[in-house]
Amino acid sequence: NAGVTQTPKFRVLKTGQSMTLLCAQDMNHEYMYWYRQDPGMGLRLIHYSVGEGTTAKGEVPDGYNVSRLKKQNFLLGLESAAPSQTSVYFCASSASGYNEQFFGPGTRLTVL
Amino acid sequence: AQTVTQSQPEMSVQEAETVTLSCTYDTSENNYYLFWYKQPPSRQMILVIRQEAYKQQNATENRFSVNFQKAAKSFSLKISDSQLGDTAMYFCAFMKQGGSEKLVFGKGTKLTVNP
């Protein structure tokens, strides 16, 4: 039981490049979330999903897209990376909206 | 919109002593949940304790307990018998019941336990 895993762990991009972050969970959770963590800012919600095939915007969705084609996977895409997207990205999942959210180990992304 | 405020950016405590981390929040909701998460240097986010707003009894988990004051919108975390492994960032978080399923985090308190 791996819990929540994220791929990759580190990535460096140039401005304008695109990439996809993959989140996978093996707990059969319905809900999945993407957060970003910036110094002194805490975690902020980017997008979330309440079930396979659904997505919704969080607090800071601009510049990101997501997809939930399979229940166990939640993808976060950056179409044209900007330096302002340099951050640590966390994925989380939960059985329902009221249950504990389990977090992945994070992805450190640097955009030059 | 809900906001969560942690007024102590950094705190330190001696090993085996007790420390209290502060958290206040702003909401017009009556039903919600409150959480404390720990983030050690490994960066992994770990749930420490959870409180349902409808429960008057304060939650406890071993050495961790909360002081939940609903009217004052205050949710402090007390760590007893502090251990070196408690050194971490601690985040207070709020979740509205019904509809949003979203955690709103404070900016965190960096706790250092000194030997």
Task: Give the distance between the most distant pair of CA atoms in chain A.
Answer: 39
* Best CA proximity match to A109, nearest among A91, A88, A90: A88
pLDDT of the residue at A40: 80
pLDDT of the residue at A111: 97
Give the containing element (helix H, strand E) for A12.
Answer: strand A10-13
Cα separation, B68 vs B56, in Å, equals 8
Residues 29-48 of B with CB under 8 A from A: 33, 42-47
> Number of CB pairs < 8 Å for A and B?
51
Q: Closest Cα of chain B to A6: distance in Å? A: 12
DSSP-based three-state secondary structure for A72: coil
Q: Do A98 and B33 touch (CB under 8 A)?
A: yes
Q: Closest Cα of chain A to B108: distance in Å? A: 6
Question: Where do we find the tokens 């959870």?
Answer: B50
Average pLDDT, chain B: 93
Residue B101 has pLDDT above 70, yes or no: no
Q: What φ, ψ does residue B5 adopt, rounded to 5°?
A: -120, 125
Q: pLDDT: is A99 or B11 the higher one?
A: B11
Task: List pLDDT tens digits, range B38-85.
Answer: 999 989 999 999 999 999 899 999 999 999 999 999 999 999 999 999
Residue B100 has pLDDT above 60, yes or no: no
* Best CA proximity match to B45, nearest among A102, A1, A31: A102
Residue A95 touches partner B, C-beta closer than 8 Å? no
Enumerate residues 6+ apart whose C-beta is below 8 A from A79: A18, A63, A65
DSSP-based three-state secondary structure for B4: strand
Kindly list the residues from chain A whose CB atom is less than 8 angstroms away from the CB atom of residue B40: none
Residue B7 has pLDDT above 90, yes or no: yes
Q: Are strands A19-25 and A65-67 parallel, antiparallel or unpaired?
A: unpaired
Mutation target to probe the A interface, by most A beta carbons within 10 A, among B45, B47, B55, B104 is B45
pLDDT of the residue at B98: 72
- pLDDT by residue for chain A (112 residues), tens digit each? 779 999 999 999 999 999 999 999 999 999 999 999 998 888 999 999 999 999 999 999 999 999 999 999 999 999 999 999 999 999 999 987 777 899 999 999 999 9
